[in-house]
Amino acid sequence: TSLSLLSRFKGALVGAVLGDCIGAYFEFEWAPSIEKEKIVNLVNKIEAESKKDKKKKVWEFTDDTAMTRSVARSLIAHPDFSSVDMAKKFTEEYHKEPDRGYGNAVITIFEKLKASDYKDIYKPASEQFDGQGSYGNGGAMRISPAPLLAQREEDNDKITKIELTDKITRLTHTHRDAINGAVMQSLAINLALKCHEEVDIDNFVDTLKSDMAKVEEKSRSKLPKPDTEDGAEVEEFPYCKVLETVREYAKQEQKPDMKDINDNLGTEISALKSVPAALFSFLRASKYGDDFKDRNPFERTMMLSISLGGDTDTIATMAGAIAGACYGINVIPESWQTCCEGVSDAIEFAEELHKLQGK
Ligand code: F2R
Ligand code: MG
Ligand code: MG
Ligand code: MG
């Protein structure tokens, strides 16, 4: 039987929340990798906790989810996209709960937007880092509602999806790598919405690579070349290049070495060094059990993505969105859902976005 689109929408948004809440547990450690026992223990703890009637511990979401919720709410209220509304939602949410663990630089944008009374929405982001823009993964981490909404524009080919992602990302991130990372995450979610039970890794990577080749070709001429510290030559197609490494590690018979993943994909706060790790986690876990053999592919995606270390909440939120879009809500453990903050809202957003299909 084929999965309903609604189930996949719920899976994507709930997967994103769970990745953030569970992954955040290790973000402060900023470890090069997390031992599998630590992750198994945390998951066991969550599953035991869910059986409690009273005083259940709730794992809280961070900036990743705070911003995703604003993207969802804004797109639901304005399906044709309102930059002012979305910028306001980001800014108001930040001022309401500033302690969700936002990036150090992005908060300057919220201050400037508020002070300027939302006059020039795209200006503060373009001024970040002396005009270079942020290369952080803050655009990619929050993008999941966009490919769900843009699913309705299927006939319009991929342009709509890419443009919507671009406009949402630019509100805070104007660096080429941040924008293209958000685009790759968005396209990966869209592809996952169409996956069947068995994920074809080669086909997934090939499709993504051919789309990213067009995206990177376009930004070569349109977006400023990023500065390099030592004046070294800038890689013109960094996402296309890393996709080959993702393919290799996802497919190899042997369990990949964590150090290799860290060195060659990255688990950092930058988009270029975190979006590939999320995609790798999803693809690898679709085929191999590795350290988490007794778990289903969704659970394995989450556990593997956290075990990579570094920016764990963000890599897990991105991996969770892709896996959820692929496998749907029914494979996501009930116990995880009851112990994470913001799950019922995510389900509601999925329903609202689903209602907008065909409109
Ligand atoms: N902020 C966190 N976690 C704390 C990270 C501690 C870590 N040890 C560390 O700082 O290395 N998590 C949340 O932030 C990430 C999303 O960030 P976002 O929204 O992209 O924010 P921002 O401030 O724009 O960028 C993040 C940092 O990246 C560096 N950076 C970005 N662009 C740069 C540039 N052009 N030149 C130099 N540095 C740049 C800065 O340090 C920024 O502060 C997620 O992980 C989320 O969970
Ligand atoms: Mg976070
Ligand atoms: Mg920034
Ligand atoms: Mg993070």
What is the tens place of the pLDDT at every residue in 311-332? 999 999 999 999 999 999 999 9
Q: What is the predicted pLDDT for the residue at 358?
A: 72
DSSP line for 65-107: HHHHHHHHHHHHH-TT--HHHHHHHHHHHHHH-TTS---TTHH
Q: Give the number of other CB atoms < 10 A from CB of residue 38.
A: 15
Tell me the pLDDT band of 154, cut-offs 50, 70 and 90: low
Task: List all residues 6 or more positions away from 173 whose beta carbon is below 8 Å from its beta carbon.
Answer: 125, 128, 133, 134, 135, 136, 138, 139, 179, 182, 271
**Short-list 56, 60, 140, CA closest to 100:** 60
Asked if pLDDT for residue 199 goes beyond 70, the answer is yes
Q: Looking at residue 155, what is its pLDDT? A: 47
Exposed/middle/buried for residue 15 (C-beta within 10 Å: 0-12, 13-18, 19+): buried
The two tokens of residue 88 are 């306001």
Mean predicted lDDT score pLDDT of the chain: 94
Confidence check: pLDDT of 10 > 70 = yes
**Res 224: pLDDT:** 67
pLDDT at 302: 98
Q: Kindly give the number of the ligand 1 atom that is closest to the alpha carbon of 104.
A: 43
d(CA 215, CA 186): 12
As a whole-number percent, the residues of the chain with pLDDT over 90 amount to 86
137 near 271, Cβ under 8 Å? yes
Average pLDDT over residues 246-270: 97
Residue 9 Cβ inside 6 Å of ligand 1? The answer reads: no
Is 28's pLDDT higher than 90? no
The whole-angstrom separation of Cα 303 and Cα 320 is 10
Angle formed at CA 281 by CA 287 and CA 236, multiple of 5 degrees: 115
Q: What is the pTM of this model?
A: 0.96
Dist CA 69 CA 203 (whole Å): 31
pLDDT: is 222 or 294 the higher one?
Answer: 294
Distance of CA 287 to the CA centre of its chain: 21
Task: Please state at what angle helix 275-287 crosses helix 176-192, rounded to 10 degrees.
Answer: 20
Ion ligand 2 — residues with CB < 5 Å: 62-64, 101, 313
Q: Which residues surround ligand 3, an ion (CB under 5 A)?
A: 105-106, 128, 134
Query: What pLDDT, on a 0 to 100 scale, did the predictor assign at position 1?
Result: 53
Say if residue 198's pLDDT is above 50: yes
**Can you tell me the distance from the alpha carbon of 265 to that of 3, in angstroms, rounded to the nearest whole number?**
31
Structure tokens at 48: 């035991």
Average confidence (pLDDT) over 175-196: 95
Mean pLDDT computed over 321-345: 97
Nearest-5° Cα angle at 16, 12 to 21? 150
168 CA distance to ligand 2 centroid (A)? 18
State the closest ligand 1 atom to the C-alpha of 132, by its place in the atom list counted from 1: 35
Name the pLDDT band for 156 (thresholds 50, 70, 90): low
Residue 159 has a pLDDT of: 61
Quick check: 300 pLDDT over 90?
A: yes
Is the pLDDT assigned to residue 87 strictly greater than 50?
A: yes
30 lines ligand 1 (CB under 6 A): yes
pLDDT at 182 over 80: yes
Which of 106, 223, 269, 273 best tests ligand 1's pocket when mutated (most atoms within 8 Å of CB)? Answer: 269
Ligand 1: does its nearest atom lie under 6 Å from the Cβ of 103? yes
In ligand 1, the atom with minimum distance to the C-alpha of 20 is: 47
- From the CA of 65, which ligand is nearest? 2
More confident residue, 168 or 234: 168
Please state which of the ranges 28-32, 61-65, 164-168, 344-348 shows the lowest mean pLDDT. Answer: 28-32
For ligand 1, is residue 82 a contact (CB within 6 Å)?
no
Q: Which residues are within 5 Å of ligand 4 (an ion), measured at CB?
A: 311, 313-314
20 close to ligand 1 (CB < 6 Angstrom) = no
Which atom number of ligand 1 is nearest to the Cα of residue 317? 47
Query: Which ligand is the nearest neighbour of the Cα of 177?
Result: 1
Q: Which of 142-156, 191-205, 246-260 has the lowest mean pLDDT?
A: 142-156
Kindly indicate the confidence band of residue 158, based on its pLDDT and cuts at 50, 70 and 90. Answer: low
Pocket flag, ligand 1, residue 136 (CB < 6 Å): yes
DSSP for 163-209 reads: HHHHHHHHTT--SHHHHHHHHHHHHHHHHHTT--SS--HHHHHHHHH
312 HSE (CA, 13 A, CB side): 25
Q: Which residues pair with 136 in a beta bridge?
A: 270
Ligand 1 neighbourhood includes 229 CB (under 6 angstroms): no
Q: Quick check: 321 and 189 in contact, CB under 8 A?
A: yes
* 74, 86 Cβ separation under 8 angstroms: yes
- Please say if the pLDDT value at position 60 is more than 90: yes
- Measured CA to CA, the distance from residue 261 to residue 257 in angstroms comes to 7
Provide the pLDDT confidence category of residue 128 given band limits of 50, 70 and 90.
Answer: very high
Are the CB atoms for 193 and 161 separated by under 8 Å? no
R_g (Cα) of the chain, nearest Å = 19
Q: How confident is the model at residue 18 (pLDDT cuts 50, 70, 90)?
A: very high
